[in-house]
């Protein structure tokens, strides 16, 4: 019987990954933890506890008490916020990962570990169109540096200690259940909230800033496919490229206008423009498709409809 620990279960990915994992493994077998209160769907569907991933003692007691067999570590400081507090972000992003990798080394009941990397591992010298799995990676953001280092640590613990740790280079993730959390791609979440709340949005990126994105349900399915694949299928122990869809603020605004004709967008680029300009415009995820069957189902039109309906429902508009 799998016993799964989700760390960071109150965040954008964690909120939806927890409920998806509970559908697969059973509500009582997926333990949601975070420092922040959970989304109601997480709270109402199974166990939740406050847990600090940096509190080693509590972590090991939790893992042994619940006979945890898989850990999904989702706690991280995202790109925009990381630039404001570089050393704090580095410490959180790296110490949390190393705690979990060490735990998996010591507690052999832990069979698999998931850790989210990001397209932020790529930098301004990386080819930006259809960025390949293996290429030049010189990230110049705190978040990207921590994700690149994290990928190397994951591979190190796999080779040296046989830890079955797996990772995806998530693009920008789009969902409506939780509000945006300080990322550079989060304009693509904020825009839907503001379109419903005020009918206008001031975008912090230029109108033609293309970034790789993915609707949350595709990201969750890719994560579950990766983690359920046989170990022999996993040839990449850093992070697998996952591509999704690429669009610009102007394009997403045009999609929204098909539903809200009077919607207006203005552009006021801030420090996150430089981050976005250092990232790929689109991703080649053919290696993921070859190894474990990564697929993108939700395209920009359907995503727009789901997001507008989801935010409306949330604000009952």
**Closer to ligand VAH by Cβ: residue 118 or 241:** 118
As measured in angstroms, the least distance from the Cβ of 282 to ligand VAH is 13
What is the distance between the alpha carbons of residues 117 and 66, in angstroms, rounded to a whole number? 27
**Adjacent-strand bridge partners of 83:** none
Residue numbers of the site for ligand VAH (CB under 6 A)?
78-79, 118-120, 143, 170-172, 183-186
Query: 143, 170, 201, 240: which one is catalytic?
Result: 143
- Closest CB to ligand VAH among residues 115, 170: 170
Give kind and range of the element (H or E) at residue 241: strand 240-241
Please give the residue whose beta carbon sits closest to ligand VAH in the complex.
Answer: 183
Cα–Cα distance measured from residue 49 to residue 38, given in angstroms and rounded to the nearest whole number: 9
Smallest distance, ligand VAH to C-beta of residue 187, A: 9
Please give, one letter per residue, the 3-state secondary structure of 152-215. Answer: HHHHHHHHHHCCCEEEEEECEEECCCCCCCCCCCCHHHHHHHHHHHCCEEEECCCCCCCEEEEE
Give whichever of 171 and 238 is closer to ligand VAH, judged by the CB atom: 171
> CA–CA separation, 181 vs 216, rounded Å?
14
Q: Which C-beta is closer to ligand VAH: that of 13 or that of 68? A: 13
Instruction: Kindly tell me which of 139 and 172 has the beta carbon lying closer to ligand VAH.
Output: 172
β-strands 200-203, 264-267 pairing: parallel
List the Cα angle 217/221/225 in 5-degree steps. Answer: 175
The answer to whether 182 and 78 are in contact (CB under 8 A) is yes
Closer residue to ligand VAH (CB): 69 or 248: 248
Least distance to ligand VAH, CB of residue 185, Å: 4
**What 3-state class would DSSP assign to 12?**
helix
CB of 242 to ligand VAH, least distance (A): 11
Euclidean distance between CA atoms 249 and 232, whole angstroms: 40
Number of residues in the chain: 317
- Closer residue to ligand VAH, CB minimum distance, 8 or 46: 8
Output the smallest distance, CB 29 to ligand VAH, in A: 28
Rounded to a whole number of angstroms, the minimum distance from the CB of residue 79 to ligand VAH is 3
Q: What is the DSSP letter of 73?
A: E
Tell me the torsion sign for CA atoms 10, 13, 14, 15.
positive
Residue 166 C-beta: closest distance to ligand VAH, Å: 17
- Examine the residue annotation and report whether 170 is marked as an active-site residue of this protein: no
Reduced DSSP (H G I as helix, E B as strand, rest coil) percent helix, strand, coil of the chain, to 5 = 45, 15, 35
Say which DSSP state 125 is in: T
Active site positions, annotated: 143
């Amino acid at each position: 019987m799998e016993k799964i620990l989700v760390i960071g279960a109150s965040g954008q990915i964690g909120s939806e990954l927890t409920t998806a994992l509970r559908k697969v493994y059973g509500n009582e077998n997926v333990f949601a933890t975070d420092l922040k209160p959970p989304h109601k769907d997480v709270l109402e569907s199974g166990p939740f506890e406050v847990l600090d991933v940096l509190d080693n003692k509590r972590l090991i007691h939790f893992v042994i008490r619940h006979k945890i067999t898989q850990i999904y570590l989702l706690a991280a400081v995202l790109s925009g916020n990381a630039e404001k507090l570089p050393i704090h972000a580095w410490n959180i992003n790296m110490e949390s990962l190393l705690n979990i990798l060490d735990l998996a080394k010591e507690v052999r009941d832990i069979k698999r570990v998931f850790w989210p990397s990001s397209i932020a591992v790529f930098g301004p010298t990386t080819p930006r169109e259809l960025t390949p799995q293996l290429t030049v990676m010189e990230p110049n953001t705190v978040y990207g540096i921590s994700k690149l280092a994290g990928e190397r640590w994951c591979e190190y613990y796999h080779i040296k200690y046989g830890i079955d740790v797996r990772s995806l280079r998530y693009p920008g993730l789009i969902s409506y259940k939780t509000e945006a959390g300080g990322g550079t791609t989060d304009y693509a979440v904020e825009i839907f909230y503001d379109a419903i709340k005020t009918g206008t949005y001031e975008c912090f990126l230029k109108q033609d800033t293309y970034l790789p994105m993915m609707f949350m349900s595709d990201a969750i399915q890719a994560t579950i496919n990766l983690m359920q694949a046989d170990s022999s299928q996993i040839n990449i122990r850093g992070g697998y490229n996952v591509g999704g869809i690429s669009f610009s603020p102007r394009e997403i605004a045009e999609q929204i206008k098909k539903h809200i004709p009077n919607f207006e967008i203005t552009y006021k680029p801030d420090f996150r423009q430089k981050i976005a300009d250092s990232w790929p415009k689109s991703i080649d995820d053919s290696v993921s498709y070859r190894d474990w069957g990564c697929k993108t189902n939700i395209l920009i039109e359907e995503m727009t409809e789901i997001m507008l309906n989801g935010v409306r429902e949330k604000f009952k508009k």
